[in-house]
Amino acid sequence: DTAVSQTPKYLVTQMGNDKSIKCEQNLGHDTMYWYKQDSKKFLKIMFSYNNKELIINETVPNRFSPKSPDKAHLNLHINSLELGDSAVYFCASSQGFDSYNEQFFGPGTRLTVL
Amino acid sequence: DQQVKQNSPSLSVQEGRISILNCDYTNSMFDYFLWYKKYPAEGPTFLISISSIKDKNEDGRFTVFLNKSAKHLSLHIVPSQPGDSAVYFCAADAGNNRKLIWGLGTSLAVNP
């Protein structure tokens, strides 16, 4: 029974398209995150939500819009995809929004923009 | 501007020996440090952490040492096992920042 799941696992699309990545956690956590791991392997936080409220928004282009319909879900919608958006995107969750709390990660979504 | 640095991209160790993974940081405001392990095609998983008020934390085969004056921490794995082969990320928390700053990771290969 997967704790943090993401769909799809792979996403290949053309520049200019709009796409969404879904994330669900069944751990009962109140905080969820989106991370981007780029080609240089840097893992950088993009957003975090606590109880459906935005806590962190890390200078991410506004083409990226997170949506949290409830505590268990945090989806990521990306408009007008660009080549530089190609990366692995990880969703994570934790109990509490202090970042020293253990974070549980999903398996990642590899996005390739052609 | 890398605030958390893992200067060794890779490390190879024989099974049964000690693995030592290093991490340096630049921000003296960091007060909590975590190590995560990542297997290919999976997300990172939490391994061990240490608060800045301690200099050592141990959990089974894994021990993390913190040298605040040198802004350096290290993860020791003893004895190393082939299943420990993974990428190890060091991450730091600056208290009220509510976000972790991650290193680039060190890929550990434990050879049978």
Strands (E), chain B: 4-5, 10-14, 19-25, 32-38, 45-51, 56-59, 62-67, 72-77, 86-93, 100-102, 106-111
3-state DSSP assignment of residue A96: coil
The reply to whether B41 touches chain A by the CB within 8 Å rule is yes
Contacts of B62 (CB under 8 A, 6+ apart): B35, B47, B48, B75, B76, B77
The reply to whether B43 touches chain A by the CB within 8 Å rule is yes
CA B103 remoteness from chain centre: 9
Q: What is the pLDDT of residue A58?
A: 84
* Per-residue pLDDT tens listing for chain B (112 residues): 689 999 999 999 999 999 999 999 999 889 899 999 999 999 999 999 999 999 999 999 999 999 999 999 999 999 999 999 999 999 998 766 678 899 999 999 999 9
Contacts of A43 in chain B (CB under 8 A): 44, 89, 102, 105
Contacts of A6 (CB under 8 A, 6+ apart): A21, A22, A23, A89, A90, A91, A106, A107, A108, A109
The helix (run of H) or strand (run of E) holding residue A109 is: strand A109-113
Q: What is the pLDDT of residue B79?
A: 98
Give every residue of chain A whose pLDDT is below 50, as ranges.
Answer: none
User: How far apart (Å, rounded) are the C-alpha atoms in residues B64 and B33?
Assistant: 9
Tell me the nearest-neighbour CA distance from B10 into chain A, angstroms: 13
* pLDDT tens, residue by residue, A3-14: 999 999 999 999
Structure tokens at B15: 């099974």
Contacts of B4 in chain A (CB under 8 A): none
